[in-house]
Amino acid sequence: MFEDIKNKLHELRINAAAKALESNGFKTYVSLSRAEAKEIVMKLIPEGSVVGVGGSATIRELNIVEELERRGIKVIHHWVKVSPEESLEIRRKALTSDVYLSSSNAVTLDGKLINIDASGNRVAALMFGPKKVIIVVGRNKLTRNLEEGLLRARNIAGVANAIRLNYKTPCTTLGYCVECKNAEKPCNVVVIMERKPSNTDVHVVLVNDDLGF
């Protein structure tokens, strides 16, 4: 019984966010499972596309990179063992991909996307460069409003990514953001997408499951 109530609550929140995102110009899809979300994403990627992938745990959890490579689609992503210089070049190339895959650090119920970045390559690609952007968001990233979304982006997504990247920042020992000025920090750039960018085709896939940080 309790699981049914929880699922109903998530469903209500997802539907509210989907309606608001659509009204803000984002093409939005609701999926009931990870498998369905992956299927939606794959259908949105034309054959022969060059696909860039941001630093997204969500996309990796869905095993989309591996599926694309199995289908012979060229994938540009920097989660590989290369030098810092090579990694930077890979990120630059992803900015001119046909399709860009990522997630969002928070999505508000009134249809805003909030993203936080260390270098800005991911948020730059979400706004301009790739012809099509696909953003996959788990239900755990939905927030009531912009204030809650910014708190989530800094104190959950930001801290988790700092831990993942072994940054020597206060948040990795405290568990929350203190808005430090450390050279190693995952939250140098904060971008709020209130509406779809004018020249970018943005698709948002909302998933009734927990994904990413």
169 in any annotated domain: no
Question: For the chain, how far is it from start to end, CA to CA, in angstroms?
Answer: 27
Tens digits of residue pLDDT in 150-182: 999 999 999 999 999 999 999 999 999 999 999
Tell me if 121 is assigned to some domain: yes
Q: Residue 66 domain-assigned?
A: yes
Give the full edge-to-edge strand order of the sheet including 74-77: 27-31, 201-207, 132-138, 99-102, 50-53, 74-77
Q: What is the pLDDT of residue 22?
A: 98
Question: The domain spanning residue 200 has which CATH number?
Answer: 3.40.50.10420
Domain extent for 75? 2-142+189-207
CA distance 92 to 70: 24
Bridge partners of 201?
Answer: 132
pLDDT digits (tens, 9 = 90+) for 7-58: 889 999 999 999 999 999 999 999 999 999 999 999 999 999 999 999 999 9
Give the pLDDT band of residue 64 (cuts 50, 70, 90): very high
For the chain, what is the domain count? 1
The tens digit of pLDDT for each residue in 85-96 reads 999 999 999 999
Sign of CA dihedral 74, 97, 85, 105: negative
pLDDT at 80 over 90: no
